[in-house]
Amino acid sequence: MIDMYLYDYNEPAQVQFVGFVGEESRYDLMLIQTDRHYGKTIVLNMQNNRYGLIGSDDLEEEGYVAYALGVNEAEGEEIQSYLNEVIQ
């Protein structure tokens, strides 16, 4: 039984599904943008069910994308290259 809700509300979101092939691997990502996470995008790696809140500041941090999405460094660099184009 639930004693108390901490929060429970709906929020409009922009959802984008993208699949692409790089030199290292194939990638299937879902990008979710809302006003809730301080302008960051929820990026879900649909192949391994790992996700991260990623903003433009995170893209500048070496290795963060690979760590957050559970991929190796080379794959992380390919995903980061794509995210640099779509995350402001």
Distance in angstroms (rounded) separating the CA atoms of residues 69 and 29: 10
Q: What confidence tens digit (pLDDT) does each residue in 68-87 have?
A: 999 999 999 999 999 999 99
Tell me how far the alpha carbon of residue 24 is from its chain's centroid.
19
Q: Would you say residue 8 lies in a domain?
A: no
Q: Would you say residue 6 lies in a domain?
A: no
Tell me how far the alpha carbon of residue 58 is from its chain's centroid.
11
Query: Looking at residues 44-62, what average pLDDT do you find?
Result: 96
Range of the domain at 79: 14-86
pTM passes above 0.75 = yes
Q: Would you say residue 3 lies in a domain?
A: no
Total number of domains constituting the chain:
1
Q: Would you say residue 4 lies in a domain?
A: no
